[in-house]
Amino acid sequence: MDSFLNRKPNFKKATTVFISVLTVTAMLLAGCTKESEPKTVETIVNSNDDIASTIKGAADDSGVKVDIQGNTITYSYDISSVDGITEEMIGDEDFVKSLETSLGAQKSSLANVCTSIEEKTKIEGVVVKVIYSYGDKEIVSTTVTSADAVSDEAANEEAKDSE
């Protein structure tokens, strides 16, 4: 197990895939909204085969499960499929912290994608949830909204002002 933890698993790659898919989705969603229809991310995706196909293809290629309910986009990644990860490892505090760090590092990017989807579709309240699981057991997760992007921007401005 020590050798695995020393390798620093690259879960950032999986999150980068999430962000890429969300960005493409945001661009596609912009052209697919009709004023007369109630708009949610789910209804737009379900009514457009190109968007649904793009999301499914990217998810299948990366081993990620994507579920869209209302305005919540949930990405679930079962890390049991990653070579070298064992059930014993998911109980290791350092391993779990590395997963949390990986998700935390992507929070701002995920929040910016939420903002982009909201702006392009004129839908408020887009939520992205990313879950790392091992089989049926959730290990770590994060939930992000566009408000997190505003919070990060304010924190960055505050840090600059204090310098």
Instruction: Write out the DSSP string of 130-150.
Output: EEEEETTEEEEEEEEEHHHHH
User: Measured in whole angstroms, how far is the alpha carbon of residue 25 from the centre of its chain?
Assistant: 12
**Domain ranges, residue 77:** 2-161
Tell me which of 13 and 85 has the higher pLDDT.
Answer: 85
Kindly list the distances between the CA atom of residue 36 and the CA atoms of 12, 33, 115, in Å, as whole numbers in the listed order. 39, 9, 22
Give me the chain's average pLDDT, please: 77
Domain count of the chain?
1
d(CA 2, CA 6): 6
| pLDDT, position 3 | 42
What's the pLDDT tens digit per position in 69-127? 999 999 898 888 887 888 888 889 999 998 899 888 888 888 988 888 888 788 899 99
156: pLDDT strictly greater than 80: no
28: pLDDT strictly greater than 70: no
pLDDT band at 31 (very low <50, low <70, confident <90, very high): low
pLDDT band at 51 (very low <50, low <70, confident <90, very high): confident
Tell me which of 119 and 161 has the higher pLDDT.
Answer: 119
Kindly list the distances between the CA atom of residue 141 and the CA atoms of 20, 46, 58, 99, 119, in Å, as whole numbers in the listed order. 19, 25, 20, 9, 25
Rounded average pLDDT over 52-56:
82
